[in-house]
Chains A and B, each alone.
Chain A
Amino acid sequence: MSQFFLQQQKSAELNPFPHIVELACQKIQHIQFNSFPVRQSLRLQFFYVNEGKFEWSINGKGFILYPGDMAVILPQQDFGSEKAFLDLGIISWITISPLQFTKAGNMLLGKWSSIPENETKSIGKLLSLNHLPVLSKLATAGHIFQSLQKEMAEQEIGYTVRVNQLIDELLITVVRHLTRQNNLQRDFPQTFMKLEQSLRNNLDHQWLVEEMAVLVGLGITAFTAKVKNYTGFSPLHYLINIRIAEAIKLLKNTNNHVTDIALETGFYSSQHFSTTFKKLTGYTPRQFRKNNKKNT
């Protein structure tokens, strides 16, 4: 694979692609000290190992990557090598600048991408909840990098469309691989428990069914059916169970304001909380709290 290095504002080839910050394939033949220190990444980066063995630190954790492995680095994550240099070998990478990427994983890519906005958000959420930034044995990603390089080099008719499609393709490949890597697709109870944990840890997030489905690696219809079959509830109703259960504990064990409890457990407002709570239990949250404290 031939080497190349394109950088926004320095390489004219990237003019039609303002969202691509860097696109490169490099063969590292010499160790260059201080060329690759750990620092905060500002963009979304994908690093693919073609040859060699690389020791990197991502978000404070050490990883060793072998050929076929890819590292996914999110904006604001620390990335680099503890030794501050790149090991010997060949790597490809692309750095993308999304329009938006919040800490909670709220991502917007921009007009260049043909992934619908709601799916983009789901992808962002999945990436931000993921604790394993290294995807192993992802040869497909290697092919995508090769195609990207070819399109850029040859600039044949339609290449601007193809390049953007390839980046979409890369994102989709990553997300699908992630859900398969994280979920044993044979064990729904185990997968569901992981999802449950994510819901609990981010209870104040306004979860969409799409986002939950992506985490499990299923389409919305199949996901909803599986959850209904397994739990007896639709995904959103199941989520309400968790919300109310957590709210009950806060009502009983703390003196927090009802409004704070409502927001903390993911209700839009104290009104929304009170209505849902009363509908289910027959009590308003305030009555419920009074009732459980006066039983002394």
Chain B
Amino acid sequence: MSRRAPSSPAASSAVARSLLALIGLALVAITAVTVAGRAAGDAAPPGPAVAVFPLQRLPLTFSHARHLGRGDVVCTDCHTRAATSRSALDRLTPDEAACRRCHAIDRGQPARDDHPVTACVACHPGWQADRAVERIDIPPPAIKFSHAAHAATACAACHPGVAQADLATRDHLPRMDACLTCHDDVTASGACTTCHLADRAGRVQTALPGGALIPTGGVSGAAHGPGFDQEHAQASRGLGAACASCHAQAFCVDCHLGVAKPLAFHAGDYVTTHAVEARRNQPDCSTCHRTQSFCVGCHERSGVGARGASGFRTAGEVGRFHPAGWADAGGRGPNHHAREAQRNLRQCTSCHREDDCRACHSAEPGGLRVSPHGPGWRGSARCQALAARNGRMCLRCHTETTAISCD
């Protein structure tokens, strides 16, 4: 069996250097990611989530700033149905009739211009007489909203900057931060489905025509970014954890108690390479696997365990799984298993059954009586707690007829 060099000051130093290098690598990566993120963020399409407010096509020339800047125009002059609208599906963009109240549009004279403007091309860029007017396309948002219920709220509170903008785009649609200033479970309901579409179970619909609705953080810190599939433990149990708002329990079961290995999670020849992570229990294998059934069954079948067909029981150094001196009862040599067992007992339980350990560690008559308890066991709180709560387990090794005691 080949091993890396035993630990020594030089080896420890090498490990320390490796750790420092890794931390350095992480810091460099963080910096690079931050810089790149800033750059990429600048190029990102503006506005709220596309899944909620799908991308729009607005072939229109219009200036909210010029209209509202007159001082005698208010939003509802043009958006006449906004104050009474009770559904986000209502079309609230003004039609031509709303414009005609000020603009003397004459479809018989499309090129005629006046003041205020009346020519078709003034508002419909690229307009040509022999071609149909290019229509605006504003897909219905995947949200529940009643303008009427928010009539007391200033338009600019939810549509910030629109008074200074020309064309109102997705960038002027509300973001969740603005909603949460009132929807804080005190002033107004903070339930997700107050605004988000719900399925029959009352969960948020995440598969929407505009794309998947994915948390970006902010509300509960549960931004579903890269790596969230493996590092969501605290987000799932922290204050405000809202997993059940979107996910049914079956969703959790699919991974935590699943029978199909997600290809992205344990990619490649993980059967071979998992040993490093398993010995560290990093990530925690027990969140999905039970060592005394899942791990033992696989290890026994693959020949790593003690009972299946295996090449490891052949004589000589090659045929050993553990190095020579691994289970010496007479003394602890450099390869003795005590250190590994104490470091992470779970790695032992992933191959061995209890009887393997009892062969030496049992205190029954005729046994080797090698105590597995460690120093200070007798009289310890742990001994007393175990004996008081599950004394039968003690009998697995202590078969003597005298009463078992921690004193």
Pairing of A with B: no
- Chain B interface (Cβ < 8 Å from any Cβ of A): none
